[in-house]
Amino acid sequence: MSKKADAIEKEDVVIRFSGDSGDGMQLTGTLFSDTSAFIGNDLSTFPDYPAEIRAPQGTIGGVSGFQVHVGKTKVKTPGDYADILVAMNPAALKANAKWVKDGGTIILDEDSFDERGLKKAGFKTDDPIKEDKLDRFNIIKAPISSLTKEALKDMGLDPKSILRSKNMFALGMVFWIFDRPLNYTEDFFESKFKKKPLVIEANKKVLHAGYNYAETKEHMTPSYNVSPAEIDKGTYRNINGNIATAWGFIAAAEKANLKLFCGSYPITPATEILQELSARKDLGVKTFQAEDEIAGICTSIGASFAGDLAVTTTSGPGLALKSEAIGLAVMTELPLVIVDVQRGGPSTGLPTKPEQSDLMQALYGRNGESPVVAIAASSPSNCFHYAFVAAKIAVEHMTPVILLTDGFIANGSEPWKIPDMAEYPSIKPPIVKEVKEDWKPYAREVEKLARTWAIPGTKGLEHRVGGLEKDELKGSVSHDPLNHQKMVNIREEKVQRVNKFIPKLEVEGEDSGSLLVVGWGGTYGHLVTAVNQLQDDGKKISLAHFNYIKPLPENTAEVFSKFDKIVVCENNMGQFANYLRMTNPEFKYLQYNKVQGLPFTIVELVEHFQKLLEE
Amino acid sequence: MAENQNILTAKDFKSDQEVRWCPGCGDHAIMNAIQRALPELEIPKEKFAFISGIGCSSRFPYYMNTYGFHSIHGRASAIASGVKVANPDLSVWQITGDGDALAIGGNHFIHVVRRNVDINIILFNNEIYGLTKGQYSPTSKFGAITKTSPYGTVEHPFHPGELVIGAQGKFFARSIDNNLKLSQKIFVESARHKGASVVEVLQNCVIYNDKTHAALTDREHKEDRTIILEHGEPMIFGKNKDKGLILDADNMRLKVVELGTDYTEKDILVHNAENENPGIHLMLANMRYPEYPVAFGVIRNVKARTYDQSIQEQIEMIQSDSSIKNVDDLLRSGTTWKI
């Protein structure tokens, strides 16, 4: 591909593909992302799809979108607003035009803008551009459906299959705009449709047709160039948060020399973790798709008792159902990781939209004094690291750990420099292998306060565990008041002591200044991008982003003490801010909250921080 | 177990915990029968795991000197499934009651049976909630007067055998607390069966539902009111072995007949516990006094693949074919690129 002479050089570009949920927009976006990654761009993606599998065709409710942000510099979010929107039908235009930058480009499939399509999308006139005041954008009306039909007319395919490949026409156009090679996508067709040569040929034909169409319409199509990013040397792959989570657990099991067991129940947006683990029988993973959320966690608790590294995966409503069983794991002091891929709530809420509103549920949503370790991943790829860490803490400290991710990082993807397992730390489960004279099931190691793990099948270590309060050494049932107080203290202390084994809180930017932005979990990309922008403008602003929630890093108060103002930013009503008020009451916490089922935008963050800096 | 010092006795299975069931409770006898059955299995003691939920019977694991887990209400089937799948080498027993298994744990119960996880489920059925002091349970007889049904229940009870067969169960047996010998024999058979085995033990709660099974334990009449089924034997019962069961084909039901002039032994049904078709098994499990004798013994015992075995085999098969042998391989599988 020759470089186009008049291409506009860009630092970064955001593209949003949108269409009906059957239009293949997720695949189109993924293929564009893959090609961009291969040629060396950094990128971040976010799929935005409806909760219904096939909402009525052509309606706003059925619009599925995929946003990708590619850059020659480090890209940390999928971007606020798109430079280019591909809208395969009127509903996609209606739903997504608000996410396009002023002056941006919108590519439409004009064939779908007939009377019926416009009506279904809720347009009242036959001129959607005028009606929705879209003339501030560069609108490219392309007859995508009819040109796709034309390109495939002699191939003997049925009309349905022909129309199904129109997304490749759109992809071809976008490839031309960004001067991207087609060969990676062609390779994908070859391997995906190995046994269907006709389908391979048809897809290639349509892809080229789209590319060539954009070239012939050069005068009206913008042309961009986004050079490769400066990225560390190494081998890379694209990964989303759910796959990274699954793999992090497999890695932990390998390091701990334990079998991995996942008892779970499908729930959006966490299901993909169970699916991936089910496919990993090659690495000995045992999955148990249970009859409900409760059985999901209970099979895992059973597996943990029997000596496996046990995890269970869910989202908010499922975490609620699992709460009694989490208490059982607290009481029996068995290792267990519970993943909560957060979504909008309460109740069924917004199943496909991200939110951070399960924090209090994770920390306190159980009967009794029931402390667990809570940690949060903050990017798609670091889900691998935090899943690994969660498993390491669970096993070495003999405690349940709740790992919080969210729909945004779980479904979002980014290039990931593949780590070498030799560089990952070891995991040492406190398994007792033989009888020692004075062994007691609830006797503890002094530093971590972890009890030992005597696995059924080990001769001479027969013992009983259960949900009734335990004698502090023997683990037998005890209703003694002072023993109960002691055990309550020990369980809390055991969790608190985890902070001797986790890294200190790091500050992005100067470690003192006017404003400290505080965040946790999946908002990292947006917060750091906004903070970096203001730092570049010379503002005294820094970011402290938390991955370890309970216990908090040891130096939390020290970090907070060096700033004039602290603002806690969350996609909830202030749950982390309130937790900080309880744990570190000596500081004043301002809040910035957004609960719309959407991530922050960098624009709104920068604006708000600027205001706080000026006040 | 060839070596003498390894031969276990019932005493080896008793823990140091004080047994806290009420004096006269049927649970004592059931535990004795289990403790006597275990040595017969010739399995090392450390390979037994007893898992329970909540309720009087669920205190059971504390009294056993084996690995044990007293879990939460209704969930023992799920916990036991996890134990067995994680370590198929263990002999896993679930101890449960009519409330624990069939009310709060009903969902888990039918699914563990359907999946055929190799677990021995001992269901203590006293038709009452004992630990919460006397409320009706899902097996309480219609009209039962209890603390939450002062005017009699208006609910139709579950019959555990019917539920097990409905959930495609492969093993169902019934015993009664005061018949230690029969219970012991059934427990051995249930443990040897590969797959989910359910043994319903009719158990007397002396405090809240005393004598609910009295018709079947009454010395004078019990042999006329119950039948002990043996695989391959004709279904004959009664104090004088003078009654039997035939299939009344016109009405598709079982019928009690007197042996003598009209019927002889060759007319009597022969029990085939291994028949895959559950039709007769269901009829046998559903026989109720006074119309019928209540069936004891192993009613259904059919071989089938177990869940734990299948999952193990699948892993072995996939592993032998896969080029991914460790996490480093996995991370580099699929599309990667170098920078």
Give the domain CATH number at A296. 3.40.50.970
* Residue among B51, B64, B69, B90 with most chain A CBs within 10 A, to mutate: B69
Rounded to an integer, the average pLDDT of B96-105 is 98
3-state DSSP call for residue A441?
coil
For residue B19, the chain A residues in CB contact (below 8 A) are none
Residues A482 and A391 in one domain: yes
Alpha carbons A586 and A581: distance in angstroms, whole number: 8
pLDDT at A1: 44
Question: A233 lies in a domain?
Answer: no
pLDDT at A218: 78
Contact call for B319 and A303, based on CB within 8 A: no
Of A471, A502, A533, which marks where a domain is finished? A502
pLDDT at A57: 85
Residues A599 and A492 in one domain: no
Q: Is B106 on the interface with A (CB under 8 A)?
A: no
CATH number assigned to the domain comprising residue A546: 3.40.50.920
Nearest to A457 among B54, B90, B107 (CB): B90
Shortest Cα distance, chain A CAs vs residue B193, angstroms: 20
For residue B79, the chain A residues in CB contact (below 8 A) are 298-299, 301-302, 305
Q: Is 90 exceeded by the pLDDT of residue B54? A: yes
Nearest to A233 among B75, B328, B339 (CB): B339
Q: Is A179:A36 a contact under the CB 8 Å cutoff?
A: no
If you measure CA to CA, which chain A residue comes closest to B318?
A282
Strand pairing category for A336-342 and B226-229 = unpaired
Alpha carbons A457 and A438: distance in angstroms, whole number: 19
If you measure CA to CA, which chain A residue comes closest to B87?
A306
* Residue among B109, B313, B330, B333 with most chain A CBs within 10 A, to mutate: B330
Residues A315 and A403 in one domain: yes
The burial of B206, by beta-carbon neighbours within 10 Å (0-12 exposed, 13-18 middle, 19 or more buried), is given as: middle
Which helix (H) or strand (E) element contains residue A389? helix A382-397
In chain B, positions 6-25, which contact chain A (CB-CB < 8 Å)?
15, 17
Alpha carbons A118 and A577: distance in angstroms, whole number: 45
Nearest to B72 among A281, A324, A462 (CB): A324
Residues A493 and A601 in one domain: no
Per-10-residue mean pLDDT, chain A, length 615: 68 94 91 92 87 80 92 91 95 94 93 94 94 92 95 90 93 94 94 92 96 86 84 91 98 98 97 98 98 98 98 98 98 98 96 95 98 98 98 98 97 94 97 90 96 97 96 94 98 98 98 98 96 96 98 98 98 98 98 95 96 95
- The DSSP output letter for A130 is H
* Radius of gyration of the CA atoms of chain B, in A: 22
Contacts of B213 (CB under 8 A, 6+ apart): B176, B202, B203, B204
Contact call for A325 and B337, based on CB within 8 A: no
pLDDT at B5: 54
Nearest in space to A487 (alpha carbons), one of A505, A473, A500, A499: A473
A296-354 residue pLDDT tens:
999 999 999 999 999 999 999 999 999 999 999 999 999 999 999 999 999 999 999 99
For residue A471, the chain B residues in CB contact (below 8 A) are none
Contact call for B69 and A464, based on CB within 8 A: yes
The count of CB pairs under 8 A between chains A and B is 198
Nearest in space to A363 (alpha carbons), one of A518, A579, A554: A579
Contact call for A298 and B82, based on CB within 8 A: yes
CATH number assigned to the domain comprising residue A16: 3.40.920.10
CB < 8 Å & 24+ apart, contacts of A114-119: A116/A58, A117/A58, A117/A89, A117/A90, A117/A91, A118/A90
Shortest Cα distance, chain B CAs vs residue A208, angstroms: 23
Q: Is A464:B69 a contact under the CB 8 Å cutoff?
A: yes
Alpha carbons A49 and A51: distance in angstroms, whole number: 7
3-state DSSP call for residue A467?
coil
Residues A36 and A172 in one domain: yes
For residue B336, the chain A residues in CB contact (below 8 A) are 235-237, 418
For A78, half-sphere exposure in the C-beta direction (CA atoms, 13 angstrom radius) is: 29
Contacts of B44 (CB under 8 A, 6+ apart): A459, B1, B6
Contact call for A284 and B315, based on CB within 8 A: yes
Structure tokens, B93: 């027993």
Q: Is B263 on the interface with A (CB under 8 A)?
A: no
Q: Which residue has the tokens 């390979």?
A: B47
Nearest to B80 among A259, A302, A327 (CB): A302
Q: Is the ipTM of this complex over 0.85?
A: yes
Residues A264 and A308 in one domain: yes
Shortest Cα distance, chain A CAs vs residue B60, angstroms: 10
- Edge-to-edge order in the sheet of strand B243-248: B236-237, B243-248, B253-258
Contact call for B87 and A306, based on CB within 8 A: yes
Alpha carbons A404 and A354: distance in angstroms, whole number: 12
For residue B51, the chain A residues in CB contact (below 8 A) are 302
Percentage with pLDDT > 90 across chain B: 95
Structure tokens, A296: 């999901």
Q: Is B65 on the interface with A (CB under 8 A)?
A: yes
Of A451, A479, A502, which marks where a domain is finished? A502
Q: Is B119 on the interface with A (CB under 8 A)?
A: no
Nearest to A466 among B66, B69, B77 (CB): B69
Of A185, A202, A225, which marks where a domain is finished? A225
> At residue A408, what are phi and psi to the nearest 5 degrees?
-70, -50
Shortest Cα distance, chain A CAs vs residue B45, angstroms: 8
Contact call for B65 and A234, based on CB within 8 A: no
Shortest Cα distance, chain B CAs vs residue A544, angstroms: 30
Residues A211 and A276 in one domain: no
Rounded to an integer, the average pLDDT of B291-313 is 97
Residues A199 and A253 in one domain: no
Residues A116 and A197 in one domain: yes
Nearest in space to A491 (alpha carbons), one of A329, A308, A361, A302: A329
pLDDT band at B3 (very low <50, low <70, confident <90, very high): very low
Angle at B281 between CA B279 and CA B282, to 5 degrees: 70
Residues A140 and A29 in one domain: yes
If you measure CA to CA, which chain B residue comes closest to A296?
B78
Contact call for A461 and B318, based on CB within 8 A: no
Contact call for B327 and A251, based on CB within 8 A: yes
Sketch out chain B's domains with CATH numbers: 4-212 (3.40.50.970)
Residues A17 and A111 in one domain: yes
Strand pairing category for B197-202 and B171-176 = parallel
Contact call for B51 and A302, based on CB within 8 A: yes
Contacts of A356 (CB under 8 A, 6+ apart): A342, A404, A406, A520, A521, A522, A523, A570, A571, A572, A575, A576
For residue B86, the chain A residues in CB contact (below 8 A) are 259, 261, 286, 302-303, 306-308, 310
For residue B69, the chain A residues in CB contact (below 8 A) are 302, 305, 332, 464-466
Contacts of B289 (CB under 8 A, 6+ apart): B215, B216, B225, B226
Q: Is B295:B227 a contact under the CB 8 Å cutoff?
A: yes
pLDDT at B6: 66
Range of the domain at A588: 507-614
> At residue B277, what are phi and psi to the nearest 5 degrees?
-70, 120
For residue A247, the chain B residues in CB contact (below 8 A) are 327, 330-331
Neighbours of A125 (CB within 10 A): 10
Residues A484 and A360 in one domain: yes
pLDDT at A8: 82
pLDDT at A434: 87
Number of folded domains that form chain A: 3
Q: Is B270 on the interface with A (CB under 8 A)?
A: no
pLDDT at B305: 97
Q: Is B214 on the interface with A (CB under 8 A)?
A: no
Nearest to A237 among B90, B311, B336 (CB): B336
Q: Is B95 on the interface with A (CB under 8 A)?
A: no
Shortest Cα distance, chain A CAs vs residue B165, angstroms: 18
Report the sign of the C-alpha dihedral through residues B227, B229, B233, B235, in that order.
positive
Q: Is B85 on the interface with A (CB under 8 A)?
A: yes
Question: A1 lies in a domain?
Answer: no
3-state DSSP call for residue A120?
helix
If you measure CA to CA, which chain A residue comes closest to B313?
A281
* Residue among A190, A293, A299, A331 with most chain B CBs within 10 A, to mutate: A299
pLDDT at A221: 76
